[in-house]
Structure 1
Amino acid sequence: MNQTYTPQEKASRIKGIVGAASGNLVEWFDFYIYAVFAVYFTKALTAPNMDSTTQSIYVWGVFAASFFMRPIGSWLFGHIADKHGRKKSMVISICLMALSSFLFAALPTYESVGMIAPFLLLLVRLLQGLSVGGEYGAVATYMSELGLKGQRGFFSSFQYVTLTGGQLLASLLGVILLAFMSEDQLLNGGWRIPFVIGGIAAIISLLARSGLEETLSSADRDREESGSLKALFRHHWRTFLLVVGYTSAGSLSFYVITVYSKTYLTNLGLAGNTVGLIMTACIFVLMIAQPVFGILSDRIGRRNSMLAFSALMAIFIYPVMVIAMPHFSSSPLMLALLLIFLMLILSFYTSISGIVKAEMFPPHVRALGVGFSYAVGNAIFGGSAPSVALQFKASGHESTFFIYVIVMLVICFLCSLKLPKAPQYLHHDH
């Protein structure tokens, strides 16, 4: 059935997608500032008697720990989104991110409070993890429900446009602050500035979100099972496991390529500002590729997009990262092109990351199903990627880490084979 929309309906839906996406941009900007500025606050917030590797492992360990708050956040905010509305869930999560960003900017140093400093770092970061955990499921659900029929892949791709946009802005802010401040100034408290900017941005985004329309019908909201974890596992546990299966490899690949590769390039001997420029350029390409791959998924189907992602990434990640990159370590341009190549393969997954999950769950447990399955896969395999890779490197087996990534991609391929050829839900508007 060909769905037609009035110009007012189209405009209203697009406005809703922009509102949800803008908040998503800010949430992820605030979340990624940590990864970009970690090198500057590591010394201030950890014990000076640790060697620099131990300090780094702690700070990246905190990064990984925040991912374990995501399942809790996705359960809590998924329940709110399925029981009380998508809008309410998105408004609360952006408030929490604003609060945690301002708290991060105000963290006391190790010098002033001793061991309390690394503990407070962990605490504030866990709050951020809780907020982002809630963000993904509600936004993916909201954008998939507002997307126009036949163009849902395209509209949903803006979740990762803004997710990578947040990462890009965090990376860009690093480049800008380095242009205006010395490394010493950043080490001596300058690292607080990005968190203040993030908190202010979250407040602005809150204003955009407060005007969103609700997509959850009152019939779905009033169902006894709405937002219930028990209902999700009783009736949809197979779907849940399937989504965790393909999310794990997607998240792992995403964090290896967009976060760990920064450390990887630095270890190849490139200067910090060169690495910053390469990453910023590559993430920009990743961001603008999302709608193109979203449109492609509307043409070829989500299942084929997922199969293409898992097969191509499994084939190319090892030769590119382990063989080609060290070979071209003296050419920043070649390194950037290699990274862009991997990011384009990654786009088969990221562009449909939200919709491929949303189409698997009915409305009354959709935000919970999407968010919780994503958070579990992400917590175990995504957020741990930089620290696991560093541990492989410390033991002298860095290349083995990429074999672990390939094994996960093979599992993803097998899970993708199980995807329905046509969506089970969301095939018509409610």
Structure 2
Amino acid sequence: MTQTLAHARRPVRQLLAASVGNAVEWYDWYAYTFLATYIAGQIFPKSSGNSLVPLLSTFAVFAVGFFMRPVGGLLMGAVADRHGRRVALTATILLMGGSSLLVGLTPTYASVGILAPVILVAARLLQGLSVGGEFAASTTFLVESAGPGRRGLFSSFQYVSTTIGQLAASGIAAALVSGLGDGQMEGWGWRVPFLVGAVLSLVGFWIRRGAEETLRLTGEGAAQPRPGLFDALRRHPRESLLICGITAGGTIAYYTWTSYLPTYAELNAGIDKADALLAGTLSLAFFALLQPLGGLLSDRYGRKPLLLFFGVGFALLSVPLLRSIGGSFGSLLLVQCAGMVLLTGFTSISAAVNAEIFPARVRAAGIGFPYSLTVALFGGTAPYVGTLFKELGRPGLFPWYVSLLCLVSVAVYLRLPESAHKELD
């Protein structure tokens, strides 16, 4: 009886280990985004008189998204393939907790001068390394932990936990801003979410330490040589390109609908900022609830139908949906929720699809690097591309840009073999 209960609890423990840690990772990541204006005033003051300060400010914003996430995916993915998924998962959450603590304790420019932005940049680089590695390790761990016919369901919790982390960061930041005055927020209030994140990382670390290793459950022989850092890229170039093609449309749609759309609505439809943020928050909660449903559908009917539902839907509807945003809260919320339904066809199963492409020996690194690189190139740049089109006087081109990238992914999905019902290596 005791053994039966332990066996029944194992999937729940595995899901909790991946999901809690992933939520904490993304909570820390988004906390910086929501509080960036307060941080900038203390760490990157315009009145510093030092020309390096604005340069470091730019580097702090861009370096992690466009450089360290792919590096993290490669390095931590290799750790997961060589030493086990659990080792990588505990390493990523400790990295994130340490970097969050470093952000929370960063001295102001007024107290230590240019050392302040240098410390903050270092902390953000560590966060980028952690976030890039987190996807590689947790994706692999989640899918390998799933029982027969449940890989899609387990996969869906990747974005459930990501969204919970984003909502938690937004909620805590909003509570602090509304409860404290500007002086308190600029003085010490902006540090609180990062100190909370450091404590949460310890909780996630404790949960992950009790997780069961999955690498040895995949049939890999212990006598086989451990993979090198670039083995996945060198021996599986086609699979690496497949990850890029699968992800390109998904990442531009995800970042457009979950991060950039409130700003897009403000710039192009004149929607009030508060209404735009509220619509974004409500649609994110709706999005999180949809993920397990998408995963279950893919386990029953296959991955390709959902991927094509997403890709064809966005290729055909990105332009009319974005153009239909009016000046009201209701129209924006409707557009966001419609996009979330389509987006679920990709996000709920992307972890499973990626994991089913690579053999277990190089699975984490094989997923981590091409995925993070594609996200950096197309997802992380979505707000900047959209803003650039606006500045050039051609805002209508951005929906076509989203549609085109989704069409590229559709071409990949059509040639992708169905893998939902195949045994995982």
TM-score by shorter chain over 0.5: yes
Residue 29 of structure 1 contacts residue 167 of structure 1 at CA under 8 Å; is this kept in 2?
A: yes
What is the one-letter code of the residue matched to 2:40?
A: T
**63, 66, 81: which one aligns with 2:64:** 66
Q: Deviations over 1:231-284 (max 9, x none)?
A: 312331101101111212211211111111232234344444433322211111
**391, 395, 419: which one aligns with 1:394:** 391
Instruction: Give, in angstroms, the shift of residue 408 of structure 1.
Output: 1.0
What is the one-letter code of the residue matched to 1:249?
A: G
**11, 14, 19: which one aligns with 2:9:** 11
What is the one-letter code of the residue matched to 2:303?
A: R
2:358 alignment counterpart: 361
- Match of 2:350, SS state, is coil
Q: Deviations over 1:92-115 (max 9, x none)?
A: 110000000011112233444444
Cα–Cα, structure 1 residues 225 and 353, in superposed 2: closer, same or farther, change >3 Å?
Answer: farther
For structure 2, the residue ranges without an aligned partner over 5 or more in a row are none
What is the one-letter code of the residue matched to 2:191?
A: R
Cα–Cα, structure 1 residues 62 and 240, in superposed 2: closer, same or farther, change >3 Å?
Answer: same
Residue 264 of structure 2 contacts residue 386 of structure 2 at CA under 8 Å; is this kept in 1?
A: no
Seq. identity, %: 36
Instruction: Give, in angstroms, the shift of residue 208 of structure 1.
Output: 0.7
Residue 47 of structure 1 contacts residue 115 of structure 1 at CA under 8 Å; is this kept in 2?
A: no
2:345 alignment counterpart: 348
CA distance in 2 between counterparts of 1:62 and 1:135 reads 20
Cα–Cα, structure 1 residues 117 and 395, in superposed 2: closer, same or farther, change >3 Å?
Answer: farther
2:92 alignment counterpart: 93
CA distance in 1 between counterparts of 2:242 and 2:257 reads 23
Q: Could you state the TM-score of these two structures normalised by the residue count of structure 1?
A: 0.90
2:156 alignment counterpart: 157
Alignment of 1:178 onto 2:155: no
Residue 225 of structure 1 contacts residue 231 of structure 1 at CA under 8 Å; is this kept in 2?
A: no
Residue 233 of structure 2 contacts residue 366 of structure 2 at CA under 8 Å; is this kept in 1?
A: no
What is the one-letter code of the residue matched to 1:360?
A: I
Q: Deviations over 1:150-201 (max 9, x none)?
A: 1211121011100111111112222222331234532444221111111111
Supply the RMSD in Å over aligned alpha carbons: 2.5
Deviates more, 1:312-321 or 1:114-123: 114-123
Deviates more, 1:62-71 or 1:310-319: 62-71
Instruction: Give, in angstroms, the shift of residue 214 of structure 1.
Output: 0.6
For structure 1, the residue ranges without an aligned partner over 5 or more in a row are none
Instruction: Give, in angstroms, the shift of residue 393 of structure 1.
Output: 2.4
What is the one-letter code of the residue matched to 2:280?
A: M
Residue 42 of structure 1 contacts residue 56 of structure 1 at CA under 8 Å; is this kept in 2?
A: no
**Pairwise mapping of residues 246-325 of structure 1 onto structure 2 (< 5 A)?**
246-267=246-267, 268-321=269-322, 323-325=323-325
Deviates more, 1:400-409 or 1:390-399: 390-399
Residue 80 of structure 1 contacts residue 88 of structure 1 at CA under 8 Å; is this kept in 2?
A: yes
Cα–Cα, structure 1 residues 225 and 270, in superposed 2: closer, same or farther, change >3 Å?
Answer: farther
CA distance in 2 between counterparts of 1:71 and 1:150 reads 31
Q: How many residues align?
A: 416
Residue 257 of structure 1 contacts residue 339 of structure 1 at CA under 8 Å; is this kept in 2?
A: yes
Cα–Cα, structure 1 residues 334 and 378, in superposed 2: closer, same or farther, change >3 Å?
Answer: same
CA distance in 1 between counterparts of 2:148 and 2:265 reads 42
CA distance in 2 between counterparts of 1:227 and 1:374 reads 19
Deviates more, 1:264-273 or 1:92-101: 264-273
Q: Could you state the TM-score of these two structures normalised by the residue count of structure 2?
A: 0.91
Cα–Cα, structure 1 residues 60 and 389, in superposed 2: closer, same or farther, change >3 Å?
Answer: farther
